[in-house]
Structure 1
Amino acid sequence: MLDTLSAPRREKAKTPGEARTVPAGMIALVLGAALLAALTAAVSWGSTSIPPAEVWSVVGRRLTGEPPRPGTDDLIVWQLRVPRALLAALVGAGLGLVGTAVQALVRNPLADPYLLGISNGASLGAVAAIVLGLGAGGALGLGLSGAAFLGALGTFALVWTVARRGGGFAPLRLVLAGVAIGQFLSGFTSYLVLQTGDEQQTHSVLFWLMGSLSGASWPVLAVPAAAVPAALLWLHARGRGLNALLMGDETAAGLGVDVTRLRRELFTVTSVLTGVLVAVSGAIAFVALMVPHACRLVVGGDHRRLLPVSALFGALLLVVVDIVCRTAMDTQELPVGVVTSLIGAPALLYLLDRRLGSGS
């Protein structure tokens, strides 16, 4: 079975113009080193520049339990910038995983969390909390992130119910249900935005809808720090099943994969993870769509290699994007989604042109 599932990847390796022979381990090492450098830069650079040596000195003292030195560097590094840099890495890694998994789930290389409506539901929950003045206390006392997560779970339940009508769990039914429900929720979100009479409140809503990591803190990191690695391990363990899904349901079933169960579990995991990510960072476009495309060009379509590389590349991309968002303008911070869209749209067009041009 292993050879059968790996056969398409070996056949793809012969496609001209695709660098499929680069060892995934080497790519992971390079991305890991680049991510470490980007995290250091993210903590070092800002309105107050702090030398990298001092950054690691502060981090080392905190990790070893030594008392911090007097001054503001410790506060800036440990309480403000390290949580934000780590949140960017976690959200980027999570979006890379979600994009890869959703594209296998619906057998569509242009799929992302927005296609299933989950991001729209999380956005509606957060916007409702802001507009109704529940951001501080939150829905059921859970705060803005809690409201977003509840919106994602509610959307997940609704899409699940609609997609399962008539039995089965077909990709087309799932996509159509997600798109229809997502568009409905998006329209309702826009209606709520129009009801805001407070300019500052409207600004907060729009900033959140375009993605922001400004709410990062150590408590906020707890849930994504648990959810993202757990999702990576779960998805990686089902890498052969994901490979089989891409061959079609009949072929996958012939290889011993319970297609309905795997697709149901994939939908659940990706929905919950998307809800967690949107709840802590807002809606960030293009990362989940673009990262898997870029990584497939390098390591191929085998999900056992693609998933970890997508997580690392997604983490690196969002950390770099967040540095740009914080430092590009002196007077204000750019929304993360603005920068990812400006980078992602042309990059995705290039990647698609390259794949189509090579006949893949």
Structure 2
Amino acid sequence: MKRKLMWILGGAGVLLLLSVMVSLSLGAAHVPLTKVWSILLDQVPLAGRLVSVPSGMEAESTIILDVRLTRVVLAILVGAALALAGAGFQGVLRNPLADPYTLGVATGASVGAAFLILFGWQTAAGQWTVPAVAFATGMLTLFGVLRLASHEGKMELETLLLSGVVVQAFLGSAVSFMVSLSNNVVNEIVFWMMGSLSKRGWDYSLAMIPYLVIGIVVLLSYSRNLNLFALGERQAAHMGVHVQRTKLVVLIVSTLLTAAAVSVAGVVGFVGLVVPHLVRLLFGPDYRILMPVSAVVGGMYVLWSDTLARLVLSPKEIPLGVVTAFIGAPFFAYLLRKRKMGR
């Protein structure tokens, strides 16, 4: 299994590197791939001695290093976080249609962030203010949805989805209410609600990294338990899984990843739904493979979505959340129809 995982991760890593190179070269100012490679290698201490940036490329270097690279790195981190969160939700709830967006967790996290933006409290407790508040409101939303969907300890698929839609609509109206109250920051809140990676510096990526590292480590440590969850909670308990602790930890960590992504990029929907399904179709349902590969593929997915957002109507930019919704909503409808026909 380890050898298979290394081969898959190696191939996915190569595709991710190629995606980064192509994305960095594309834009209003096109930079050839060879120049992009030279500019990046020049920043590596040892490689920089072998490769030097030719004179007259100062403008291209500024575009690549100060404008595009920060955005590319953040896209990869956000995509990895949302894909991991989606895989965690799907595994612990044993529901293939669960993800941070359909469960309303992303919208719940956005309520806390929008509240801070409205009153200008984004940095009241430093750079962790928005992620912490987004995590708190996201957790409240998650437990509210699960409580609304449960009946005598059971949750039907339709009930869970309907609960997510109801809570999402209510919280969305709360955010809209805050937009109506705002004057100076109305555009900031609205644009942030649609998801975007524009004008994001390295501080945002640095803020994401601790959450992503924690999320990967914890979810990977519970991957075997999630494999056993597929057999049912009772069977998993008979095989030595602490069911309630596993559910609590995975739900908390998945919500934490969602809150971190929402706090820096706004509401970016359906990433946690599409990516784990694609990985599952290609490489099987083993969560020991599904988790790490979903993180890499999620990074590629958001990276290419953001690249399309920059290019389709250039020089005007489409919000990232609009692009992912255009792709994810039909995919969600396909999965829902497929599940109904399979009954």
Scaled to the shorter chain, the TM-score interval is 0.7 to 0.9
Whether the 8 Å CA contact 1:327–1:333 is kept in 2: the answer is yes
Aligned counterparts, 1:89-238, within 5 A = 89-132=76-119, 134=120, 138-142=122-126, 146-147=129-130, 149-157=132-140, 159-160=142-143, 172=155, 182-197=168-183, 201-238=185-222
| Counterpart check, 1:292 vs 2:313 | no
Aligned partner of 1:302 among 286, 301, 314: 286
Whether the 8 Å CA contact 2:114–2:178 is kept in 1: the answer is yes
Structure 2 distance, partners of 1:251, 1:278, is: 35
Aligned residue pairs, count? 329
Counterpart residue identity of residue 227, structure 1: Y
Whether the 8 Å CA contact 2:71–2:198 is kept in 1: the answer is yes
Aligned counterparts, 1:1-360, within 5 A = 25-64=6-45, 71-132=58-119, 134=120, 138-142=122-126, 146-147=129-130, 149-157=132-140, 159-160=142-143, 172=155, 182-197=168-183, 201-350=185-334, 359=342
Counterpart residue identity of residue 94, structure 1: A
Counterpart residue identity of residue 151, structure 1: A
The verdict on how the C-alpha distance between 1:62 and 1:25 changes in structure 2, with shifts beyond 3 A counting, is: closer
Whether the 8 Å CA contact 1:97–1:232 is kept in 2: the answer is yes
Deviation of 1:348 (Å): 3.9
Whether the 8 Å CA contact 2:309–2:319 is kept in 1: the answer is yes
Structure 1 distance, partners of 2:235, 2:278, is: 27
Counterpart residue identity of residue 284, structure 1: V
The verdict on how the C-alpha distance between 1:351 and 1:221 changes in structure 2, with shifts beyond 3 A counting, is: same
The verdict on how the C-alpha distance between 1:123 and 1:109 changes in structure 2, with shifts beyond 3 A counting, is: same
Structure 1 distance, partners of 2:340, 2:147, is: 34
Structure 2 distance, partners of 1:348, 1:90, is: 23
Structure 2 distance, partners of 1:320, 1:190, is: 29
Counterpart residue identity of residue 153, structure 1: A
Q: After alignment, is 209-218 or 347-356 more displaced?
A: 347-356
Structure 2 distance, partners of 1:162, 1:76, is: 44
Cα deviation, 1:268-299, whole Å, max 9, x if unaligned, reads 11111111111111110111111111211111
Whether the 8 Å CA contact 2:84–2:216 is kept in 1: the answer is yes
Q: After alignment, is 52-61 or 204-213 more displaced?
A: 52-61
Whether the 8 Å CA contact 1:139–1:146 is kept in 2: the answer is yes
Structure 1 distance, partners of 2:125, 2:336, is: 44
Structure 1 distance, partners of 2:75, 2:141, is: 29
The verdict on how the C-alpha distance between 1:127 and 1:157 changes in structure 2, with shifts beyond 3 A counting, is: closer
SS at match of 1:50: coil
Whether the 8 Å CA contact 1:215–1:280 is kept in 2: the answer is no
Structure 2 distance, partners of 1:340, 1:158, is: 22
Q: Which residue of 2 aligns with 1:10?
A: none
Structure 1 distance, partners of 2:200, 2:336, is: 34
Deviation of 1:187 (Å): 2.2
Give structure 2 stretches of 5+ with no counterpart.
Answer: none
Give structure 1 stretches of 5+ with no counterpart.
Answer: 1-5, 7-22
Structure 2 distance, partners of 1:310, 1:159, is: 22
Deviation of 1:238 (Å): 1.5
Whether the 8 Å CA contact 1:106–1:172 is kept in 2: the answer is no
Cα deviation, 1:305-342, whole Å, max 9, x if unaligned, reads 11122112111111111111111112311101111111
Instruction: State the superposition RMSD in angstroms.
Output: 3.2
The verdict on how the C-alpha distance between 1:72 and 1:149 changes in structure 2, with shifts beyond 3 A counting, is: farther
Cα deviation, 1:147-206, whole Å, max 9, x if unaligned, reads 3541332442575589689xxx967499598766554432211111222345xx433322
Whether the 8 Å CA contact 2:79–2:298 is kept in 1: the answer is yes
